[in-house]
Amino acid sequence: MPYAFWTFRLLAFAFLMPGHWGLLAVLWAGGDCWRRWLPPEGELLRDETLQDMLRRCGLAEAGLWLSDAKAKGKANAGFAGAPWRRRIVFSPALCQGLPFELQTAVLAHEAGHCRLRHEEQWLAGGFFFWMALFALMAAHWGVWPVAALTVAAWVAVRQGRPLLAPLRRRWEFQADAFAAAQVGAEAMAAALERLEEISPPAPSAVVPYHPALQERLARLRSL
């Protein structure tokens, strides 16, 4: 599917640039939404207590899924699906490694991301990025200007992570605070400590979007 996805994008670029660059930007950003909103692989988790937590968090229509498609054996959680039909995803390692009461804290954290519209803000930023890029390409249409802008955009995306990291870390603090309001700060802190214990980050890994554990714990205990 990735090959078909990028083939469609390149064909859309070839046919719509430069005359219809605005439509191209909409389609390009729509592709990002489609990829992120695909239903998760795995199976539906039917636990009434966890579903009740989703209802308490204002996500009564959301589903809870068990999937290792993205976690790849690590204890992790995330969400998928369109904003009007969210699906919270737990990895098997998370379910096995966390006591049930701490699973509810992780669930509330992911629900916080959904309720606070963090992904929608991220996608909106991406849309304006594509609009600006394609507008520049349309205004300077030609092989070398387009090639230069493409390389510049690639470098900006690859090297711009440190610039975006403070925003993403703020979102993590906000989701932690949302979860603390539902399950208590100590439960959320205990869940973070347990996750660090059973699935520590690799020493060589660079994870700029998540604050350090001690910083998150300090924020929680100050609430």
Task: Tell me: pLDDT of 33 over 90.
Answer: no
- Other Cβ atoms less than 10 A from the Cβ of 176: the count is 25
pLDDT at 121: 93
C-alpha dist (Å) from residue 199 to 16, 107, 183, 202 = 46, 17, 22, 9
CA 102, CA 143: separation in Å to the nearest integer? Answer: 55
Tokens 């790849």 sit at which residue?
Answer: 72
Strand blocks (E) in the chain: 43-44, 63-66, 77-80, 87-90
Task: Tell me: pLDDT of 156 over 60.
Answer: yes
Task: Tell me: pLDDT of 44 over 80.
Answer: yes
Closest CA to 45 of 99, 102, 89: 89
Q: How confident is the model at residue 204 (pLDDT cuts 50, 70, 90)?
A: very low
CA 90, CA 67: separation in Å to the nearest integer? Answer: 6
By residue count, the chain amounts to 223
pTM > 0.75: yes
CA angle 78, 161, 149 (to 5 degrees): 120
What confidence tens digit (pLDDT) does each residue in 79-121 have? 888 888 899 999 999 999 999 999 999 999 999 999 999 999 9
Instruction: Tell me what the mean pLDDT of segment 31-36 comes to.
Output: 85
Burial of 206 (0-12, 13-18, 19+ CB in 10 A): exposed
Q: Is 70 helix (H, G, I), strand (E, B) or coil?
A: coil
pLDDT at 2: 63
What confidence tens digit (pLDDT) does each residue in 176-202 have? 999 999 999 999 999 999 999 988 766
CA angle 36, 41, 43 (to 5 degrees): 135
Residues 6+ apart with CB under 8 A from 92: 66, 68
CA 134, CA 12: separation in Å to the nearest integer? Answer: 12
Q: Are 115 and 5 in contact (CB under 8 A)?
A: no
Instruction: Tell me what the mean pLDDT of segment 68-83 comes to.
Output: 86
